[in-house]
A and B are shown apart, each in its own frame.
Chain A
Amino acid sequence: MDIIITFIYYCLVAFVSAVLIYNFFKTKEWQKEVLTIIVVLPFLLRLFMLK
């Protein structure tokens, strides 16, 4: 069960990361671009199993 929950968790992290990166390219406001970059960093660090 733990393995399944962990797998779903990493799928969610990947999904949120993808949405954030999509928003980064979609937005036209520079403040939102900076915000998206800052927010996506911990998601990517977790996705790549670095932190």
Chain B
Amino acid sequence: MIRKLVFGFAGLALLVFSGISFYQSRRLKEPVVVSDGVTQVVRLSKYFSGVEGTANDCNMYILEGKEPGATFCILGGTHPEEPAGRLAAWIFAENAVLQKGRLIVVLSANRSATTVTRVGGAYPPEFSIPTSWGEQGFRMGDRWSNPLDQWPDPEVYIHYPSGQYLAYVDVRNLNRCWPGRPNGTLTERTTYAFMEMIRKEKVDIVIDLHEAELQYPVISTIVSHEKAQDLAAIVSMTLTDMEGFKMGMEFSPKNLHGLSHREIGDFSDAAGLLFEAPEPFLDATRGKTNTEQLLTGKDDFVVRAGQHGLLFEKIDANGWPIDKRVGRHTSAVLQTMVSWTEMHPDKPMVCDSIPRYADVVARGLGQYLRNPALAKPGRIWYE
């Protein structure tokens, strides 16, 4: 009996310890000190009440220029385990000032997925970015919606409306659930709400920010719907020529469904672009799965995989630091705005106060995160 009590209390201690850790991680508050350029912050449920009160009723930061122009939307956090996408969007929400056009910034497109880490993946629950005023913490997140918000998964996920069969787990993958449906799962209702927003706000370009493992062929590239192929091609060439990093361009496959770059273009007047940056943390051959690896992108095992010709992107002992990955995204978004304006002078998009790749690498991402302690009243929001 004493043995049972000892084992029972040990189990209870493990349950309480892990339970508190998961509970706190799920509710970690991430402050956003919005830029002076942000004129409105609305919830996703404004566009579709089916997500009201759910984990995915995320904030949307709307910036309006002094002059009219195009409307762009930046989606960060489609896959929260790809943090450069969220952090690049964060820089826009906290720093951008628009001269012409309108910008809608989303930091947690799949907010539910920011509240969980990969089951069995031993991911760190959160990570911190050093700044001049201290450290800012962020939830690590996963690729899929939290099973606490949408469960169980089906045997096979049948995409709506194409009827295409996809991996069962992708029923919780925001980037396999476009264009969604109003009576579907939480993830499908979320993409449906975004589609409603895109249609009602007459968005011209949606940019979905991602990262990819180096063993994945779709990396360091722009994936473009056919509506935006010319734009993507010129952005790709300009970035590769002028910014000091390679950026490819690929066509969105017409028969692969559920992805933002395919369905947004097919089901709205907007065109979808998806940007990929390299993230060694996602590689199956990685070594330690810890915060240092996540932020430095250094990994001897991934380097060895590269020496054996198994990778689609270069890597050396310097890794792929988070500053480089975020800088790639900020430059790619800014260049998309510049090239769009050159191609559509009647519908310009001009954005100031955002650092390009070289600035983020030189000064560090933390220099562009604002101190919540110094925020003016009403200018701080939480993700």
Please, could you name 22 A-B residue pairs with CB atoms under 8 Å apart, sorted by A?
A: A6-B152, A9-B151, A9-B152, A24-B4, A24-B8, A33-B3, A34-B7, A37-B10, A37-B14, A38-B11, A41-B15, A45-B19, A46-B147, A46-B148, A48-B19, A50-B22, A50-B23, A51-B18, A51-B19, A51-B22, A51-B116, A51-B119
Number of residues in A with C-beta < 8 Å to the partner? 20
Within 8 A of A (CB), among B126-163: 147-148, 151-152
Within 8 A of B (CB), among A27-51: 30, 33-34, 37-38, 40-41, 44-46, 48-51
Partner of B18, one of A5, A6, A25, A41: A41
On chain B, the residues within 8 Å of A40 by CB distance are 11
Report Cα–Cα, A46/B119, bound state, in Å. 12
Given contacts A50-B23, A51-B18, contact A37 B11 (CB under 8 A): yes
Number of residues in B with C-beta < 8 Å to the partner? 19
Report Cα–Cα, A50/B26, bound state, in Å. 9
B119 — nearest CB in chain A belongs to which residue? A51
**6 closest residue pairs by CB, A with B:** A37-B11, A50-B19, A51-B22, A50-B22, A33-B7, A9-B152
On chain B, the residues within 8 Å of A24 by CB distance are 4, 7-8
On chain A, the residues within 8 Å of B14 by CB distance are 37, 41
On chain B, the residues within 8 Å of A25 by CB distance are 4
Give per-residue flags for B94-120: 1 if the beta carbon is below 8 A from chain A beta carbons, else 0: 000000000000000000000010010
Min C-beta distance of B122 to chain A, whole Å: 13
Main secondary structure of the interface of A (DSSP, over half): helix
Q: Does B285 contact A (CB under 8 A)?
A: no
Q: A40-B11, A50-B19, A51-B18 are in contact. List 5 more A-B contacts (CB 8 A).
A: A2-B185, A30-B3, A37-B10, A44-B15, A51-B148
On chain A, the residues within 8 Å of B19 by CB distance are 45, 48, 50-51
